[in-house]
Amino acid sequence: MLKQLTSLVCISLVVLNALAHNNGLALTPQMGWDTWNYYGCSISEQTILDAAQGFIKYDLPKYGYNYVVMDDCWQAPARNATTGAPIADPTKFPSGMKALADQIHSMGLKFGIYSSAGMYTCGGHFGSLGYETIDAQTYAEWGADYLKYDNCYNEGQAGTPKLSYDRYANMSFALNATGRPILYSMCNWGEDGPWNFAPTIANSWRISGDIYDNYNRFDERCPCLSMIDCKLAGYHCAMTRIIDFAAPVGQKAGTNHWNDLDMLEVGNGGMTYDEYVTHFSMWSILKSPLILGNNVLNMTNETLEIITNDAIIAVNQDSTGSAAERMWKVPVFSGGDLSSWSGSLVNNTFVIALLNTSPETQYVTVNFTDVFIDQGPSYQTGTYVIYDLWQKDSAGAWGKDIGTYTAAIPDVEIGMHQVRIWKAVPASTNSRRDLAEL
Ligand SMILES: *[C@@H]1O[C@H](CO)[C@@H](O)[C@H](O)[C@H]1NC(C)=O
Ligand SMILES: *[C@@H]1O[C@H](CO)[C@@H](O)[C@H](O)[C@H]1NC(C)=O
Ligand SMILES: *[C@@H]1O[C@H](CO)[C@@H](O)[C@H](O)[C@H]1NC(C)=O
Ligand SMILES: *[C@@H]1O[C@H](CO)[C@@H](O)[C@H](O)[C@H]1NC(C)=O
Ligand SMILES: *[C@@H]1O[C@H](CO)[C@@H](O)[C@H](O)[C@H]1NC(C)=O
Ligand SMILES: *[C@@H]1O[C@H](CO)[C@@H](O)[C@H](O)[C@H]1NC(C)=O
Ligand SMILES: *[C@@H]1O[C@H](CO)[C@@H](O)[C@H](O)[C@H]1NC(C)=O
């Protein structure tokens, strides 16, 4: 029975992947940097080239970061009056977009651009609604490799999945028609359930209102408790609130089509080291795009250490593309909660996470009955080599072997606002038996 269930799940995943947005991009979640979280509207040719320089300075492409994305406020006051084509602000971008993209490409990086599926962008510049074809063509001519496509001023063309789908599919088809592979990053804030309608038209879709650089503060501007039936996505969503929003929709992500938990705040100063470790870890195991949002020209060692943890990045970029699921969540008396997450990785290995959003240290036994709910009894009683992905081994590499565990990892101490991320590798005899079963 369990075996049959497993094969059913496998078949449906394969079918889903075959029907994903077919532009050959985002086989794993995209990685890069975007201007918004650090610079807001204050961008120019120079800020973007500086950031690209930061990529080189800190060797970020080695870890997988390759898209340099220019967010809102690049536009001139108006489109070309004759052709309707978009024009870049000539003061902020004196060399023009094509030259900027060429420069970024010459550094071995990719170039991203921004617009909105509305009359105006969120910053009040001209939007793309009604101009999809000429905008996509112009972005392609400029050499764009990525489009972040926002949702402001959509003229009421939202409120049902069909309205949102039509607006976003239009740009998807326009991008496809250019013949240039352009990663399509939908930013419709989770409105109308994009996880249901976006997988065939976009490489990723935002699942909630905008993040802000805060661990758990409830803000009325991000009023919903779940995104499933949310009527006002809003913004100023604290980091752990977005983790809650993401928990049920992981099942909808896969190769070419990802849930976007929004850009990272790591390094921007509003959270502690442990909180940023949680932020980066959870975004990784939930298979969110990893788009940095800090000043990549000047990072502290702590920030750099977090965003270059290659064992955590490997989980995000794992080729099975399967998001971790929350297996349980229990409230803690003093606030927040404890939760346990697990997910499948290639070669019959697994990621296990424990998250403590409470203000107190907790002691937890991670029981494999919960971790391997989907895999069945032999996995639940099995023996695994466990690697702690936030500890370094004796050679200085992330992912320290902390020993062999059967049926549970007992008595784990986890401090306030901490996370534990482990990789579990079936001990050899066990793994052979289980592989044969599959
Ligand atoms: C356009 O869509 C077709 C059909 O899905 C796909 O085969 C092709 O690779 C796409 N081209 C681009 C440039 O995205
Ligand atoms: C508008 O487009 C026309 C035709 O391509 C071009 O000659 C003209 O220079 C453009 N104007 C601006 C302000 O870019
Ligand atoms: C996209 O929108 C434009 C402008 O509203 C419209 O002319 C065009 O037919 C739409 N394309 C598709 C494929 O819906
Ligand atoms: C980098 O940031 C540090 C503080 O984190 C500051 O002291 C230093 O001046 C900055 N360096 C540059 C080149 O901006
Ligand atoms: C940061 O790391 C660099 C290179 O490893 C080292 O030279 C520097 O002293 C470190 N800075 C601090 C403040 O720890
Ligand atoms: C998975 O196993 C294959 C075959 O043994 C190996 O080549 C590959 O490197 C493994 N992948 C990972 C991520 O460990
Ligand atoms: C794990 O959970 C099962 C089922 O609730 C229980 O029987 C078992 O004792 C637990 N094992 C550990 C090590 O906590």
Going from the Cα of 298 to the center of ligand 4, the distance in angstroms, rounded, reads 6
Can 318 be counted among the known catalytic residues?
Answer: no
Nearest CA to ligand 2 atom 12: 80
Whether the CB of 87 sits within 6 Å of ligand 2: yes
Going from the Cα of 301 to the center of ligand 5, the distance in angstroms, rounded, reads 6
**Whose atoms come closest to the Cα of 423: which ligand?**
6
What integer pLDDT is reported at residue 20 of this predicted model? 77
Q: Would you give the distance in Å from CA 68 to the centre of its chain?
A: 15
Can 192 be counted among the known catalytic residues?
Answer: no
Q: How confident is the model at residue 3 (pLDDT cuts 50, 70, 90)?
A: very low
Task: From 128, 131, 133, give the residue whose CB has the most ligand 3 atoms within 8 Å, as the site to mutate.
Answer: 133
Candidate CATH numbers 3.90.850.10, 3.50.50.60, 1.10.3720.10, 2.60.40.1180; the one for domain 324-437: 2.60.40.1180
Q: How confident is the model at residue 11 (pLDDT cuts 50, 70, 90)?
A: very low
Nearest CA to ligand 4 atom 14: 298
Q: Where do the structural domains in the chain lie, given as residue ranges?
A: 18-316, 324-437
- For residue 430, pLDDT over 80 is answered with no
> What letter does residue 143 receive in the DSSP assignment?
T
**Whose atoms come closest to the Cα of 269: which ligand?**
4
What integer pLDDT is reported at residue 381 of this predicted model? 96
What is the tens place of the pLDDT at every residue in 364-388? 999 999 999 999 999 999 999 999 9
Whether the CB of 346 sits within 6 Å of ligand 6: yes
Nearest CA to ligand 1 atom 8: 23
Q: How far, CA to CA in Å, does 89 sit from each of 74, 83, 278? A: 6, 17, 38
**Whose atoms come closest to the Cα of 76: which ligand?**
2
**Which pair of tokens denotes residue 6?**
């497993």
Pick the more confident residue, 5 or 370: 370
- In sequence order, what are the residues at sequence separation of 6 or more whose Cβ sits closer than 8 angstroms to the Cβ of residue 40? 73
Of 71, 145, 210, 262, the active-site residue reads: 210
Nearest CA to ligand 7 atom 9: 367
- For residue 16, pLDDT over 60 is answered with no
- For residue 368, the ligand 7 atom closest to its alpha carbon is 1
The DSSP line for 396-432 is: S-EEEEEEEEESEEEEEEE-TT-EEEEEEEE-HHHHH
What is the tens place of the pLDDT at every residue in 250-291? 999 999 999 999 999 999 999 999 999 999 999 999 999 999
DSSP E strands, 251-380: 258-260, 290-292, 325-331, 337-345, 349-356, 362-367
- For residue 338, pLDDT over 60 is answered with yes
Whether the CB of 53 sits within 6 Å of ligand 2: no
Whether the CB of 300 sits within 6 Å of ligand 4: yes
Whether the CB of 347 sits within 6 Å of ligand 6: yes
Nearest CA to ligand 6 atom 4: 347
Give the SS3 label for residue 142.
helix
Nearest CA to ligand 2 atom 1: 80
Task: From 80, 89, 91, 131, give the residue whose CB has the most ligand 2 atoms within 8 Å, as the site to mutate.
Answer: 80
- For residue 181, the ligand 1 atom closest to its alpha carbon is 13
- For residue 7, pLDDT over 70 is answered with no
Q: Would you give the distance in Å from CA 359 to the centre of its chain?
A: 26
**Which pair of tokens denotes residue 143?**
């050499």
Of 34, 150, 192, 260, the active-site residue reads: 150
Q: How confident is the model at residue 22 (pLDDT cuts 50, 70, 90)?
A: confident
Q: Are strands 383-392 and 398-406 parallel, antiparallel or unpaired?
A: antiparallel
Give the SS3 label for residue 343.
strand
What are 166-169's contacts with CB under 8 Å, separation 24+? 167/117, 167/129, 168/117, 168/194, 168/198, 168/201, 168/202, 169/201
Q: How far, CA to CA in Å, does 281 sit from each of 69, 170, 276, 355, 420? A: 22, 34, 8, 10, 9
**Whose atoms come closest to the Cα of 435: which ligand?**
6
Rounded CA-CA distance 241/323 in Å is 18
Helix (H) or strand (E) holding 390: strand 383-392
Give yes or no for a contact between 210 and 262, defined as CB atoms under 8 angstroms apart: yes
Q: Check residue 155 and give left, alpha or beta (phi > 0: left; psi -120 to 50: alpha).
A: left
Task: From 38, 58, 298, give the residue whose CB has the most ligand 4 atoms within 8 Å, as the site to mutate.
Answer: 298
Helix (H) or strand (E) holding 65: none
What integer pLDDT is reported at residue 432 of this predicted model? 45
CATH 3.20.20.70 fits 18-316, yes or no: yes
What integer pLDDT is reported at residue 19 of this predicted model? 67
Neighbours of 251 (CB within 10 A): 15
- For residue 408, the ligand 7 atom closest to its alpha carbon is 13
Rounded CA-CA distance 388/375 in Å is 22
**Helix ranges, 202-353 (H):** 239-246, 273-285, 301-307, 310-316
Phi, psi of 419 (to 5 degrees): -135, 150
Whether the CB of 132 sits within 6 Å of ligand 3: yes
- Average pLDDT of the residues of the chain: 94
Q: How confident is the model at residue 428 (pLDDT cuts 50, 70, 90)?
A: confident
Pick the more confident residue, 83 or 428: 83
- For residue 14, pLDDT over 90 is answered with no
Rounded CA-CA distance 304/63 in Å is 11
Query: Which residue is associated with the tokens 């970020």?
Result: 60
Rounded CA-CA distance 422/415 in Å is 16
